[in-house]
């Protein structure tokens, strides 16, 4: 796998905010992707598992010591390879497995609205390096 396709993270142990960088969600994770056949369901399940694991690994790579957090916000920046109309609701829905991966990492106990606030996504164009950047910010104080 090319380096630019691997999940990346930056931040520090003492940081209360950090960014993880993931590839754009696969087409199978879009709510508009048909999964009427057994093959379609298997493809979606496989894509979900892979993307969830990528998000978990990216969060774990940051090595946050103050886990679990009580509340957080997540801001998604989608960097698309082409300029065309995008649906914000579908973009956010395609990140469900990434949110589950954040929970799997132990950073937060649940991805419901009481724990994880999802901010409106932002869109930009990057033809050379399409990706999604998730800025994760702690919202509780100890």
Number of domains, the chain: 1
pTM above 0.75, yes or no: yes
Candidates 77, 27, 68, 34; CA nearest to 50 is 27
User: Which residue range forms the structural domain that includes residue 14?
Assistant: 3-138
Mapped onto helix, strand or coil, the DSSP state of residue 108 is strand
Sign of CA dihedral 97, 119, 92, 123: negative
Q: What is the pLDDT of residues 31-83, one digit of tens each?
A: 877 776 777 788 888 999 999 999 999 999 998 888 789 999 999 999 999 99
Residue 141: its pLDDT value, please? 61
Determine the 3-state secondary structure of 19 from DSSP: strand
CATH of residue 62: 3.30.1330.70
Tokens representing residue 84 in the block: 């065309």
Query: What's the average model confidence in pLDDT over 75-95?
Result: 92
Residue 5: its pLDDT value, please? 47
Q: What is the pLDDT of residue 4?
A: 47
């Amino acid at each position: 796998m090319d380096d630019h396709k691997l999940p990346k993270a930056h931040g520090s142990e003492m940081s209360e905010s950090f960014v993880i960088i993931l590839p754009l969600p696969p087409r199978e994770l879009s709510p508009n992707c048909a999964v009427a056949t057994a093959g379609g369901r298997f493809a979606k399940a496989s894509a979900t598992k892979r993307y969830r694991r990528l998000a978990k690994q990216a969060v774990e790579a940051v090595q946050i010591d103050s886990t679990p957090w009580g509340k957080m916000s997540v801001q998604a920046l989608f960097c698309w390879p082409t300029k065309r109309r995008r649906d914000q609701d579908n973009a956010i829905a395609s990140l469900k497995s990434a949110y589950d991966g954040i929970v799997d990492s132990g950073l937060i106990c649940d991805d419901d609205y009481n724990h994880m606030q999802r901010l409106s996504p932002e869109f930009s164009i990057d033809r050379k390096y399409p990706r999604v950047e998730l800025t994760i910010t702690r919202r509780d104080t100890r």
